[in-house]
């Protein structure tokens, strides 16, 4: 087996809007959202072997292996296919944890796609999306690898092409519990459906934003600051916020003025995940 080290991106996403249509009997929420992929990523270095072990290390505080979503993704592939191959995965983390950018879900999706290829498992993209859903509601979008209008719990995906804007993404330095937000009694749960053909940023919103801003005043304060410069919104359940720019330089100028306690980056919106480009390059070798 070729045990060459390979490097795979795990890109960020934004929810350009998030409408909560209703709550299901199983407690999950039916949503509508528009996923925008960014050219800003975590990075996974993967080296495969015949050990049957999955080893994960990272440049951030370690969490127990059994709770690591990268490890869970690898184990799920082993259990599904019966493969006895193993690997070592080194995570270079750039995306903030708990920020609504999909970092953990993207790490899991990259693990599924990369190991499916490197372990020569032959699972289809649809099969990988189905496995991904067992790991988290946002994992399928990263396996899908394209900007998408999403429904259901976020797993019903329709590809869309979006203008390649620049985004200023700001982390207010607060960790938001997605579970607490979705369990909160004041969360809106009856927003009317919209058609993807009639979507615009102005006729959409994030149903979690008002509640999260009430729960975390610093998020509200930072959002108010951003709105001085460009159309802005919270992504997912937060805590990260984004502003939309046509001009990269203007986004970078605002980045320089970030309030104390905030961090951020400027990224370009892309219509195709850099993960799929990496996969194609490896297949074409």
Give CA–CA dist 258/236, Å, rounded: 21
- Locate 49 and state its tokens: 């072997």
DSSP three-state, residue 278: helix
Sort residue 100 into left (φ over 0), alpha (ψ -120 to 50) or beta: left
Q: Is 138 one of the annotated active-site residues of the chain?
A: yes
Give CA–CA dist 276/231, Å, rounded: 30
Per DSSP, the residues of 40-92 read EEEEEEEEEESS--EEEEESS----GGG-HHHHHHHHHHHHH----EEEEEEE
Q: Is 13 one of the annotated active-site residues of the chain?
A: yes
Name residue 242's beta-bridge partners.
169, 233
CA angle 258, 260, 264 (to 5 degrees): 45
Give CA–CA dist 96/74, Å, rounded: 22
Distances (CA, A) of 200 to 163, 182, 270: 12, 25, 18
Give CA–CA dist 6/48, Å, rounded: 9
Of the candidates 42, 72, 85, 138, the residue annotated as catalytic is 138
Q: Say if residue 263 is exposed, middle or buried (CB neighbours under 10 Å; 0-12, 13-18, 19+).
A: middle
Which letter does DSSP use for residue 198 in this model? G
- Locate 60 and state its tokens: 């951030």
Of the candidates 2, 13, 75, 196, the residue annotated as catalytic is 13
Residues noted as catalytic: 13, 138
């Amino acid at each position: 087996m070729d045990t060459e080290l390979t490097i795979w991106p795990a890109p960020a996403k934004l929810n350009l809007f998030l409408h909560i249509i209703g709550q299901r009997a199983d407690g999950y929420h039916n949503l509508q959202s528009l996923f925008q992929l960014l050219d800003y990523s975590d990075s996974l270095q993967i080296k495969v072997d015949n050990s049957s072990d999955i080893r994960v290390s990272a440049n951030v505080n370690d969490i127990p292996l059994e709770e690591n979503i990268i490890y869970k993704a690898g184990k799920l592939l082993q259990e599904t296919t019966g493969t006895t191959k193993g690997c070592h995965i080194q995570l270079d983390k750039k995306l903030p944890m708990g920020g609504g950018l999909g970092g953990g879900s993207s790490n899991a999706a990259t693990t599924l796609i990369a190991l499916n290829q490197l372990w020569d498992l032959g699972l289809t993209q649809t099969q990988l999306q189905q496995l991904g859903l067992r790991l988290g509601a946002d994992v399928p979008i990263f396996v899908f690898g394209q900007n998408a209008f999403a429904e259901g719990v976020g797993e019903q995906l329709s590809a869309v092409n979006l203008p390649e804007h620049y985004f200023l993404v700001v982390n207010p330095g607060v960790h938001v519990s997605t579970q607490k937000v979705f369990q909160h009694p004041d969360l809106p749960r009856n927003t009317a459906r919209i058609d993807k053909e009639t979507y615009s940023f102005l006729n959409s919103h994030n149903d979690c934003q008002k509640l999260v801003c009430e729960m975390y005043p610093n998020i509200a304060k930072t959002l108010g600051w951003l709105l001085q410069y460009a159309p802005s919104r919270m992504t997912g359940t937060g805590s990260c916020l984004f502003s939309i720019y046509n001009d990269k330089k203007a986004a970078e100028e605002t980045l320089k003025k970030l309030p104390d306690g905030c961090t951020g980056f400027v990224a370009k919106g892309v219509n195709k995940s850099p993960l799929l480009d990496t996969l194609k390059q490896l297949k074409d070798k």
